[in-house]
Amino acid sequence: MVEGIFFEITIVILMATIVSMAMRVLRQPLIIGYIFTGIIAGPMFLDLVESSELLSTLSQIGVAFLLFIVGLNLNLKTLKEVGSVAFLGGLGQVILTFLIGYMLSLGLGFNSTESAYISMALTFSSTIIVIKLLSDKKDLDSLYGKISAGILLVQDLVVIFILMFISAIDRSDSLVALFSGTLTTGTGFVILLIIASYYIMPRVVHFMARSQELLFLFSIAWVMLISTIVYKMGFSIEIGALFAGISLASSPYHYEMSSKVKPLRDFFVVLFFVLLGSQMNIENNVNILIYALIFSLFVLLGKTLIINALMGMLGYHRKVGFSTGLALAQISEFSIILVLVGYNNGVLGQDIVSVITIVGLATIALSAYLFQYSGSIYTKCSPYLKIFERKYLREEFTGKSKNFRIILFGYNRIGFSLTRAFRKIKKSFLVVDFNPDIIKLLKHENSPYKYGDAGDIELLDELGLDKVEMAISTIPDIDTNLLIMGKVREKNKNAVIIITSHQIDDAFRLYEAGADYVIMPHFLGGVHTSTLIEKFGTKVNKFVKEKFRHIEELKLRKGIGHEHPRIH
């Protein structure tokens, strides 16, 4: 018996490794490889999965660890930093996607309960996939990257309440019992857990962290203990694991705990997705493929348009809305967990699980490819996306004339210092940016500005580039910078062109294309420090004076919302 189970898991893991290698070559998330492994090992092909009950138990442990790590990264203190755009955009996206998805599901013939589960599954995006896509593109600290991360955080919080509600309603006989008993008890336990996370757990974790092995053992014990308590209270193991992670999220050791548990999570999660794939059966059922195609198109196109519309209503440029929408154009691991909870509760059939699984495969794979070519896709779609922008922002242009000597594309952290230099040399300047918050700041400072995208050819033609003496771009995107350089050189061959790059190879490309200087922010700190050493030597009083000057500048930057980018 034991040998048979060991042999079965061995074959499954070997197959998952081979298929995942293929996914790696195709530059696809490994989660797709795991599900394909299950499909191949399932009854549709090789029919190797016999110990499904054991695999189901092991996979549930994997889901618990997955949600524990998600909870560890949901630090409640970061809610203050989300901002109104993430909150309003995230909540608006959840509500609109759910309502439209619900009506679509009803129109396709599903009953109200099935439609509710399906629409919830279509609503949420994958935090793991989106963060990976943004990280690979070096866009985590871009405007749309921050908004995407904020919307994901709002989605995760909504998922917590949904999972809590679903797991509670499944164990309550009536709505009165649900609200008076289960949910009230659960809310009380969550409050106790939050209090413990602030006043008790920091000391406990600090003691455990003295030994890495003890910290690892404590992490496992904690997630299992809280999951068991929450389950006995009438909720699911998954929501317990999520709360276990949240209760430790504010700990300074949450990164260590996450890294310790992650290998264990990866192993069990592989079994979860393999089992999920093995349970798919679309033989002689064309409807499953048709439904999956319709829902996939809704996620890829509908969700992107919904986010575009919301970003436009909140005053953001169409490029920000498009980039954010495309980044979030897939469904989440939570989506699959939600429909599995419905399946285990007996309110959903296996066919719906199969539909959502196929939607997950399709949207994760296609969104990764679309996101990779988002720049060229946006260029073609840009004229049609103007309907989502606020007209007064597009037309607004400060300054009595276009005779500016310097044009700065992108204000951000670097531009803040540059505009001070422009004023010192008494040169008129114009700032081009598409962040509404930056526009408000520039308007408050009486600085000339133009709301727009530096990659928009029509905008560049409006700027009077033939009269500028200098054009500076703080935007690290090489395609945008090459376009700016080409337009400036076309109109004015004598203008000084200064461009920003985060990659050495891109810097070489920009120099070859005619840039007069390329700013590389990650190297400037060392250059500046070496200059200070050459200037001050080892005179401590000079460095102390520089320190106080630097502190004052940091206070000023913090006051207007600047933060140093995260290291990826």
Output the domain CATH number for residue 286. 1.20.1530.20
416 plus 483 within the same structural domain? yes
197 plus 287 within the same structural domain? yes
Distance CA 72, CA 249 (A): 4
State the average pLDDT over residues 505-517.
90
Distance CA 482, CA 515 (A): 9
State the average pLDDT over residues 340-359.
86
Residue of 103 and 265 predicted with greater confidence: 103
453 plus 307 within the same structural domain? no
Distance CA 97, CA 103 (A): 10
CA 539 and chain centroid, separation: 46
What order of strands is seen across the sheet that includes strand 470-473? 449-451, 429-433, 406-409, 470-473, 496-500, 517-519
pTM of the model: 0.73
Final residue of a structural domain among 335, 353, 384: 384
Distance CA 427, CA 481 (A): 23
444 plus 348 within the same structural domain? no
Q: What is the pLDDT of residues 40-97, one digit of tens each?
A: 887 777 777 776 677 778 877 888 888 888 788 765 555 555 567 888 888 999 999 9
Q: What is the per-residue pLDDT for 568?
A: 41
Q: How many CB atoms lie within 10 A of CB 46?
A: 13
377 plus 414 within the same structural domain? no
Final residue of a structural domain among 334, 356, 384: 384
State the average pLDDT over residues 24-40.
80
Lowest mean pLDDT among 272-281, 338-347, 438-447, 465-474: 272-281
Upper half-sphere CA count for residue 535 (Cβ side, 13 Å):
10
- The residues, ordered by sequence, that sit 6+ positions from 158 with a Cβ below 8 Å of its Cβ are 90, 91, 94, 124
User: Cα–Cα–Cα angle for 16, 22, 27, nearest 5°?
Assistant: 115
Looking up residue 464, the CATH number of its domain turns out to be 3.40.50.720
- The residues, ordered by sequence, that sit 6+ positions from 46 with a Cβ below 8 Å of its Cβ are 40
Report if residue 363 sits inside a domain: yes
User: Cα–Cα–Cα angle for 69, 74, 80, nearest 5°?
Assistant: 170
- The residues, ordered by sequence, that sit 6+ positions from 539 with a Cβ below 8 Å of its Cβ are none
The whole domain housing 170 covers: 2-384
- The residues, ordered by sequence, that sit 6+ positions from 53 with a Cβ below 8 Å of its Cβ are none
State the total domains in the chain: 2
